[in-house]
Amino acid sequence: MAIHVPSALEAQAEACLLMFSHLNLLYLAIRDPTFVPTQDMLIGLYVL
């Protein structure tokens, strides 16, 4: 299995920016949410 790590500082900053989940809440092309909680998730959060 190969693991690819960005070596340049600019590439590392771009990778961090693209991987932040709080920045990727919407599909930009269709403006729909990327994360929609299901009933199981909501019940689990309620129990916690």
On whether the CB atoms of residues 12 and 6 are closer than 8 A, the answer is yes
Is the backbone of residue 3 left (phi > 0), alpha (psi -120 to 50) or beta? Answer: beta
Quick: pLDDT tens for 1-48.
788 888 899 999 888 888 887 777 888 788 888 888 889 989 998 999
- Rounded to whole angstroms, the Cα distance separating 6 from 18 reads 13
Q: Which two tokens stand for residue 36?
A: 């929609």
User: What's the gap between Cα 29 and its chain centre?
Assistant: 16
Domain locations in the chain?
Answer: 9-47
For position 41, what pLDDT does the model report?
87
Please state the pTM of the whole predicted model. 0.43
Secondary structure letter of residue 26 according to DSSP: E
